[in-house]
């Protein structure tokens, strides 16, 4: 396997025959990748929650501020349209994109998808079985995230869906669009932490359901590269992009300690 999206003008900070990590501005790097070369995109873009508020972590009151990358841009919706436009060009005609978010950003994402030529296939609700409590006690506890699954809205776009496997994993019944499970366990944070790290089981299901072994998975906001770990375990190629050196180093450590299952 090889990273078919890369060209000679791009220098990964980490690369093997089947995976690569790019450090830099997501918009600039996405524009340099080969068009029509990516089979599946999973994106966990900034939720823009760093607004000076508070939340609960490990039973303690902490700030919601993560870093500058999570600060609200001057035009949130234009930000989302811009990176989605670049992702559209990168997808194959059979490729799809998955995007995770909360109420703070997902409605903009949904509109931006349609504006940039995508068709939404599913609206997955990820229900967290162990969410942190609501400290303000002025609204219901936030216990879900939305994951949108979309393809190109063209006549030639024929997306891949492993219906049989998903039905098998759901005890012989059609899998529904509400997925339940816990937050990321400590065992998946042995090499470091990311504030929005997704659990491995979630990415495994996404990748297994909508891609095939050997295909290329892209994560344009890779963070700790749970996407990459799942891709490697499942025999896919992986390309991760992040603007934070610490997260790229964390991603590399996780990938280096992951052994393919197939």
Residues of the chain with pLDDT > 70, as a percent, come to 90
Q: Is residue 7 part of a domain?
A: no
Which among 216, 224, 223, 217 is positioned nearest to 254, based on CA atoms?
Answer: 224
* CA–CA distance, 83 with 161 (Å, rounded to integer): 24
Q: Which two tokens stand for residue 126?
A: 């990820």
Q: Is residue 119 part of a domain?
A: yes
pLDDT band at 1 (very low <50, low <70, confident <90, very high): very low
Contact, 29 vs 20, CB < 8 A? Answer: no
DSSP string, 169-218: HTTTS---SEEEEPPPPGGG-TT---TTPPPHHHHHHHHHHH--TT-EEE
Tens digits of per-residue pLDDT, 233-259? Answer: 999 999 999 999 999 999 999 999 999
Full residue range of the structural domain in which residue 228 is found? 14-256
Angle of helix 245-256 versus helix 226-233 axis, rounded to 10: 20
Domain count, the chain: 1
Q: Is residue 3 part of a domain?
A: no
What is the predicted pLDDT for the residue at 69?
44
Q: Any bridge partners for residue 19, and if so which?
A: 238
pLDDT band at 134 (very low <50, low <70, confident <90, very high): confident
**Domain containing 19 — which CATH number?**
3.40.50.150
Phi-psi region of 223 (alpha: psi -120 to 50; beta: other; left: phi over 0): left
Q: Is residue 148 part of a domain?
A: yes
224 vs 2, more confident: 224
Residues 6+ apart with CB under 8 A from 254: 191, 224, 225, 226, 228, 229
């Amino acid at each position: 396997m090889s990273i078919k999206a890369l060209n000679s003008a791009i220098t990964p900070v980490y690369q093997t025959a089947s995976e690569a990590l790019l450090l830099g501005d997501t918009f600039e790097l996405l524009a340099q990748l080969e068009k029509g070369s990516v089979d599946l995109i999973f994106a966990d873009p900034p939720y823009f929650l760093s607004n000076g508020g508070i939340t609960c972590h490990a039973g303690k009151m902490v700030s919601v501020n993560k870093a500058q990358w999570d600060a609200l841009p001057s035009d949130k919706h234009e930000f989302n349209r811009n990176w989605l436009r670049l992702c559209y060009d990168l997808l194959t005609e059979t490729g799809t994109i998955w995007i995770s978010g909360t109420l703070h950003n997902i409605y903009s994402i949904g509109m931006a998808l349609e504006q940039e030529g995508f068709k939404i296939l599913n609206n997955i609700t990820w229900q967290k079985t162990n969410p942190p409590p609501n400290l303000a006690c002025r609204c219901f506890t936030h216990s879900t995230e939305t994951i949108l699954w979309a393809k190109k809205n063209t006549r030639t776009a024929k997306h891949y869906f492993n219906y049989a496997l998903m039905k098998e994993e759901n005890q012989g019944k059609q899998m529904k669009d509400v997925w339940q499970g816990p937050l990321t366990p400590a065992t998946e944070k042995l090499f470091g932490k990311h504030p929005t790290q997704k659990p491995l089981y979630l990415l495994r299901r996404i990748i297994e359901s909508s891609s095939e072994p050997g295909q290329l998975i892209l994560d344009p906001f890779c963070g700790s590269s749970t996407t990459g770990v799942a891709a490697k375990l499942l025999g896919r190629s992986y390309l991760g992009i992040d603007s934070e050196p610490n997260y790229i180093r964390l991603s590399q450590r996780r990938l280096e300690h992951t052994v393919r299952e197939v």
